[in-house]
Structure 1
Amino acid sequence: MLFYEAQRSGTLPSDQRVPWRSDSGLSDGADNNIDLAGGYYDGAGYIKYNFPMAFSTTLLSWGVIRYKRTYEALGQLDYVLDTIKWTTDYFIKCHPEPDVFYGQVSDNAADSQYFGRPEDMNYQRRSYKIDFSNSGTDLAAEAAATNAPRRSYKLSIQPAAQAYGGSGKYNDELAWAALWLYKLTRTRSYFNDAKLIVDRRRN
């Protein structure tokens, strides 16, 4: 869990265990008059890509469901739950109104020109969103299992396309989201939706 703590963006809590890190990215979202401080930086840079953030957080959640006793025995349960909550709190900020979800902060063009600590960033960090004009079904499904126009987010957020091109299809994310919703709610229609999506892909 220390890796995730080292990748945190935003106002860090007092119990932060990575001593060389402090608050960063506090003005993220300012270009769109929204507070997008928080979330996790991706890889060795300071871009925040919500697609891999969502997927890795979902896998952590799955791990807690499957191996909760192991996390407890190792004294890591609170840490993994905090790691998951760091993402979900950030995603709430990224969804400021219906049919709008901010999926990325900064881009390769800006990020590749900066060599320094995230705490010292002073370059413009653009924020990119999906909405009815800039759709992204795969990102919306991965992050929140919500409905969105049926296109891939890489067509709307071009800088992300360079780093995370993906398949250009979204059915796997829709099935994944439907199965998670079924697990959460036990509403059979979500399971049926997932099965229908998988069956269509087989044909």
Structure 2
Amino acid sequence: MAPKASLSPTTTTFILLLISLLSFNLTHSVTAVQNYADALRKSILFFEGQRSGKLPPDQRLRWRGDSALRDGYTSGVDLTGGYYDAGDNVKFGFPMAFTTTMLSWSVIDFGRNMGAELGNALKAVRWGTDYLLKATAIPNVIFVQVGDPYSDHNCWERPEDMDTLRTAYKIDVNNPGSDVAGEMAAALAAASIVFRSRDPDYSRLLLNRAVKVFEFADRHRGAYSNSLYHWVCPFYCDFNGYEDELLWGAAWLHKASRQRRYREYIVNNEIILRAGDTINEFGWDNKHAGINILISKEVVMGRADDLRSFQNNANSFICSVLPGISRPEIQYSPGGLIFKAGGSNMQHVTSLSFLLLAYSNYLSHAKSVVPCGQLTATPAMLKQLAKRQVDYILGDNPIRMSYMVGYGARYPQRIHHRASSLPSIRAHPDKIACKQGSTYFLSPNPNPNLLIGAVVGGPNISDSYPDSRPYFEESEPTTYINAPLLGLLAYFQTHY
């Protein structure tokens, strides 16, 4: 009698987890077909709405105008340009640098999938790096923030009308900030890869600056929130320490320059990534999971056995986010959305999903899988989990709302965003003073200006969303939510 056919353990676990993924919201909604190309176009367009400084002639969101044209003036430097990170009018350097790094990583890994939108993605990267070059132009001095956050947060006014204090805050040899400097080095190095063949001179400028910024960060160690506590906390305080940013910066410099000294730095400092509560953290403050995934590409491809510990950590990260075996720090809403405690949950959703997709591609090329105890995570499974998160954002969720402004039939109308919620300077040329904006903030009416492509902080653990400006944790968009999303949408528009 012939033996009965049986499924391999890998196939069995793939089927079980795939069923788990697809059944998250089976009782709530019917899976929709998403227009990833449209979402990609809009997610890039969002960055034009966040621009500070003199807007270029090809600016597409026409309701925005020039703003903050004297940034840096009182400090004797030009700090115009860059991005407002969220719904206020401060330029916070830490999240802006992380945004630029993730925009660059999206282009590096998925630029070939961006099609006609690649040019706009490159402009988004360059708007960030042009500013970072200004902020790091003086040796051993880095400008890390423009705008008094207390003065700014006391007003609800358009960036074009700003009359709040535009103080420029810096770090230097006596007031170090290895965290923000390390992230800036990473951003400059990553962007140098983006422009290596497209603009070699600009690429060399970026890489040379990244080297100098990293040397400053490593030589003069300290957290910038110790040096500038009153001005950066609690807004973008460094809660996680600066060591991970140093390793993150070294990893990107190694990838950009291929110099052995950065590889040695990585090997000598791998103890920074102690497995624990941070294994599945990745964002503007904590780089642990991102470092492990980035460095693991070399290991997976068989080119760096001395970095095996990073792949082990990357595999632990993958196992920690799988539904059914995830760690306490990772939860899933009834509708299937990754949820981590703290504000602006979508920043975790997009950044962790990006890592899942990036690692799945590395594994696919190496014909490898991730063992998770009795389970086996395949590249296809990781792609499906990442796709599930993106689809949720775009409207495949229990309340059938797209969390991207301007995408789909139903999306947030009252986002926590000054420029979007106030009449545009074209519709209302007269100045709207600091406290006059409060009327618009408290209004139940939809925002008059569509910040197309903005992805808000998102629903709570129960999949409910208030669509109200005062609920800023749910209704505020940020650049670092959108930046990883570019890579995800580019891949899915090509493959699905």
TM-score (norm 2): 0.39
Read off the aligned partner of 2:161 and give its amino acid letter: D
The answer (yes or no) to whether the contact 2:244–2:272 under 8 Å persists in 1 is no
Q: Which residue of 1 aligns with 2:69?
A: 26
In structure 2, do the counterparts of structure 1 residues 111 and 168 end up closer, same or farther at CA, with 3 Å as the change threshold?
same
Read off the aligned partner of 2:152 and give its amino acid letter: D
Q: Which residue of 1 aligns with 2:98?
A: 55
SS at match of 2:270: helix
Is 1:117 the counterpart of 2:188? The answer is: no
Q: Which residue of 2 aligns with 1:77?
A: 118
Q: Partners in 2 of 1:200 and 1:44 — Cα distance?
A: 33
In structure 2, do the counterparts of structure 1 residues 200 and 19 end up closer, same or farther at CA, with 3 Å as the change threshold?
closer
Deviation (angstroms), 1:134: 1.4
Read off the aligned partner of 1:107 and give its amino acid letter: D
Q: Which residue of 2 aligns with 1:95?
A: 136
Q: Partners in 2 of 1:2 and 1:141 — Cα distance?
A: 28
Is 1:128 the counterpart of 2:200? The answer is: no
Deviation (angstroms), 1:195: 2.4
Deviation (angstroms), 1:19: 1.0
Read off the aligned partner of 1:127 and give its amino acid letter: A
Deviation (angstroms), 1:108: 2.0
Deviation (angstroms), 1:201: 4.4
Is 1:154 the counterpart of 2:225? The answer is: yes
Is 1:108 the counterpart of 2:179? The answer is: no
The answer (yes or no) to whether the contact 1:42–1:48 under 8 Å persists in 2 is yes
Q: Which residue of 1 aligns with 2:279?
A: none
Q: Which blocks of at least 5 consecutive residues in structure 1 are unaligned? A: none
Q: Partners in 1 of 2:241 and 2:104 — Cα distance?
A: 24
Q: Partners in 2 of 1:200 and 1:155 — Cα distance?
A: 20
Q: Which blocks of at least 5 consecutive residues in structure 2 are unaligned? A: 1-43, 186-209, 276-496
Deviation (angstroms), 1:150: 0.7
Deviation (angstroms), 1:36: 0.7
Q: Partners in 1 of 2:150 and 2:274 — Cα distance?
A: 39
Read off the aligned partner of 2:124 and give its amino acid letter: T
The answer (yes or no) to whether the contact 2:142–2:171 under 8 Å persists in 1 is yes
Q: Which residue of 1 aligns with 2:269?
A: 197
* 1:3-48, Cα deviation, whole Å (9 max, x unpaired): 1110000011000011111110001112212111100012110010
Is 1:182 the counterpart of 2:182? The answer is: no
Read off the aligned partner of 2:64 and give its amino acid letter: R
TM-score (norm 1): 0.93
In structure 2, do the counterparts of structure 1 residues 8 and 200 end up closer, same or farther at CA, with 3 Å as the change threshold?
closer
Deviation (angstroms), 1:65: 0.8
The answer (yes or no) to whether the contact 2:53–2:66 under 8 Å persists in 1 is yes
Q: Which residue of 1 aligns with 2:316?
A: none
State, as a whole percentage, how many aligned pairs show the same letter. 44
SS at match of 1:202: coil
Q: Which residue of 2 aligns with 1:13?
A: 56
How many aligned positions are there?
201
The answer (yes or no) to whether the contact 2:171–2:224 under 8 Å persists in 1 is yes
**Bigger Cα Rg:** 2
Q: Partners in 2 of 1:88 and 1:46 — Cα distance?
A: 19
Say which of 107, 112, 116 aligns to 1:64. 107
Is 1:35 the counterpart of 2:82? The answer is: no
Read off the aligned partner of 1:6 and give its amino acid letter: G
Deviation (angstroms), 1:122: 1.9
Q: Give the 4+ runs in structure 1 shifted more than 4 A.
A: none
Read off the aligned partner of 2:266 and give its amino acid letter: A
The answer (yes or no) to whether the contact 1:110–1:124 under 8 Å persists in 2 is yes
Answer 1 or 2: higher relative contact order, Cα 8 Å, separation at least 6: 2
Matches within 5 A, 1:158-173: 158=229, 159-173=231-245
In structure 2, do the counterparts of structure 1 residues 5 and 133 end up closer, same or farther at CA, with 3 Å as the change threshold?
same
Q: Partners in 1 of 2:46 and 2:263 — Cα distance?
A: 34
Q: Partners in 2 of 1:200 and 1:30 — Cα distance?
A: 39
